[in-house]
Copies of this chain bind each other. A is one copy, B any other.
């Protein structure tokens, strides 16, 4: 493991120092990158609303109920759901013709804890 510790090399006016050198370990870098992945998935109004709807319905919600909530085509909603699933934020389940989505509460807890 490696840390970055950088002493500024430039001369400072009057010999002042602007602040203490910053250290940023690789472990925290990796965690921050994972959290950025989750935040990126949530960083679209449609997807944030999808998550909001899903978590307010304790059970699993059918895609056919989600599509008409937005002024978007069915393929577009399907695309957003896929992005959320790829980020580990939601899960899905097929029952016959229908697909049901639900929020993975661990993922939400993970990101909200990290940010708090």
Q: Which of A's residues lie within 8 Å of B, judged by CB? A: 4, 6, 8, 10, 13, 18-22, 24, 28-29, 32-33, 35-37, 39-45, 47-49, 51-53, 57, 59-62, 64-66, 68-69, 96-98, 100, 108-109, 111-113, 115-116
Contact = CB atoms under 8 A, between A and B. Distances in A.
Contacts of A40: 39-40, 43-44
A18 B62 CA distance: 6
Contact of A22 (B10, B57, B111): B57
Given A4-B69, A24-B53, A108-B116, 15 more contacts: A4-B68, A18-B65, A19-B60, A19-B65, A32-B48, A32-B49, A33-B45, A33-B48, A36-B43, A36-B48, A37-B43, A39-B40, A40-B43, A42-B43, A109-B116
